[in-house]
Each structure stands twice: as structure tokens, then as C-alpha cells.
């Protein structure tokens, strides 16, 4: 009888120690997940905050300052108003325009009515392109938000989250850069055409 009692006590002690270890492991895991979720929340807030750049000094003659994230680049005066490093070609192709506008040399071969139609079509296309850009960036933000939610619930591995988070952020930056560059180029082209049209009157 005392032998069974001793075995029972030993089993109870082992069970209590195992249960305590399991509870401790669960609590520490939850705390770690909370810390990671808080870190992701901070990252989300930083992503949402617009980059604020200090005002640059006056540009040299024939140059201008172009914002690029949290700093500026000095570029020639006729450069686009966005940092014009080459965007990812595949992403940039998403923002190619279908309406072909005449070059400056081709303008004299068009009459005012033809140019007005082209400007109208190109302006509509520019508006559609903005909708496309907003749809793409919204879907990327929603994907990042979903990852953050999954991280809070502990559904996915934290290492894979960091990688995916970085990929989505990088993709959003590239899309934004490509869109701004294409939009800037297109607006400048349309402005030149409209200025030319003003000389026809």
C-alpha cells in the first residue's frame, strides 16, 4: 500500500512540475507575441506617417531640388518633380499609357481639334491610372494589415512575417515611385501640348 502511495505521490509531483512548465511556456510565448505585435503596430504607424524632409538650401542656377523620401536630390531644372531613378521595369509597365501623345516635333502636323481630343483622352487615362494606383496600394496595405493581425493571433511564424512585411513594403514603394514618375512625365507632356495649343489661337 505504501509503495502505491509513493508512486502516486511521485506521479503527482511529476504532473504538477510538467503542468507548471507548460503554463510558464504558454505565458512566456504570449508575452513574446504581445511584444512582437506592439513592434508591428509601431512599424505600421511609421509606414503611415509621411516622410518629412527639411527644407533644402537654394538650388544652384539651372537646378532644382526634388524630394526623395526624407531627403532631397539636386537635379536639372527640366527633370520631373519626383526622384527619377529608374523604377522596376515590370512595375513601371503597370503604368504605361495607351494614348500616344505626339512629340514636340510632331505637334505641327496636328490641328487644334485633334490635339484637344488627345488631351481629353490622355487626361481620362491619367485619372484611370490614379484609380489603378490607389487600388494597388490599398490592396498592399490591407495585406500588411492582415499580416499584422495574424501576428497578433500567433497564426504565423514571426520570421516569415518579417520577410513578407518587407516584401510588401518594398513593393508598395516601387509602385508609388513608378506611378509618380509616369504621372509627372505625362503631366509635363500634356502641359507642353496645351501650351502649343495656346499658340494656335
Q: What is the pLDDT of residues 11-59, one digit of tens each?
A: 889 888 988 888 888 888 878 877 777 777 777 676 665 544 466 777 7
Q: Is the pTM of this model over 0.85?
A: no
Rounded CA-CA distance 175/179 in Å is 6
Q: How far apart are CA 145 and CA 151, in angstroms?
A: 10
Range of the domain at 120: 88-201
Considering the domain architecture, whether residues 175 and 100 belong to the same structural domain is answered as yes
pLDDT of residue 47: 64
Q: What pLDDT, on a 0 to 100 scale, did the predictor assign at position 132?
A: 87
Tell whether 29 and 92 lie within a shared domain. Answer: no
Tell me: do 112 and 190 sit in the same domain: yes
User: Does one domain contain both 100 and 177?
Assistant: yes
User: Do 105 and 63 have their domain in common?
Assistant: no
Do 18 and 95 lie in a common domain? no
pLDDT, tens only, 149-194: 766 666 556 666 667 777 777 788 888 888 888 888 888 888 888 8
User: 193, 102 in Cβ contact below 8 A?
Assistant: yes
Q: What pLDDT, on a 0 to 100 scale, did the predictor assign at position 53?
A: 47
- Report the alpha-carbon distance of residue 101 to residue 116 in Å, rounded: 11
Q: Which residues on neighbouring strands pair with residue 63, listed in sequence order? A: 76
Of 67, 73, 48, 104, residue with least CA distance to 184: 67
The confidence score (pLDDT) of residue 89 equals 65
137 to 143, 160, 161, 169, 183: CA distances (angstroms) = 10, 21, 19, 10, 16
Q: Specify whether 62 is located in the same domain as 107.
A: no
What total number of domains does the chain contain? 3
Instruction: Give which of 77, 85, 81 is closest to 67, Cα–Cα.
Output: 81
Does 21 share its domain with 71?
no
DSSP state of 47: H
Q: Are residues 149 and 198 in the same domain?
A: yes
Amino acid at each position: 500500500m505504501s509503495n502505491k502511495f509513493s508512486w502516486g505521490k511521485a506521479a503527482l509531483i511529476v504532473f504538477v512540475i510538467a503542468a507548471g512548465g507548460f503554463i510558464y511556456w504558454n505565458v512566456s510565448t504570449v508575452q513574446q507575441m504581445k511584444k512582437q505585435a506592439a513592434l508591428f503596430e509601431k512599424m505600421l504607424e511609421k509606414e503611415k506617417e509621411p516622410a518629412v524632409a527639411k527644407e533644402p538650401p537654394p538650388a544652384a542656377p539651372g537646378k532644382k531640388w526634388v524630394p526623395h523620401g526624407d531627403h532631397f536630390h539636386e537635379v536639372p531644372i527640366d527633370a520631373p518633380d519626383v526622384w527619377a531613378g529608374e523604377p522596376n521595369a515590370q512595375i513601371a509597365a503597370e503604368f504605361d499609357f495607351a494614348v500616344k501623345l505626339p512629340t514636340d516635333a510632331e505637334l505641327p502636323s496636328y490641328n487644334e481639334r485633334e490635339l484637344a481630343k488627345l488631351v481629353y483622352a490622355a487626361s481620362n487615362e491619367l485619372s484611370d491610372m490614379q484609380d489603378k494606383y490607389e487600388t494597388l496600394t490599398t490592396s498592399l496595405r490591407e495585406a500588411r494589415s492582415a499580416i499584422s493581425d495574424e501576428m497578433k493571433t500567433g497564426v504565423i511564424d514571426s520570421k516569415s512575417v518579417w520577410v513578407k512585411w518587407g516584401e510588401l513594403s518594398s513593393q508598395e514603394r516601387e509602385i508609388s515611385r513608378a506611378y509618380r514618375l509616369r504621372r509627372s512625365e505625362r503631366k509635363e507632356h500634356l502641359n507642353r501640348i496645351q501650351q502649343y495649343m495656346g499658340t494656335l489661337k
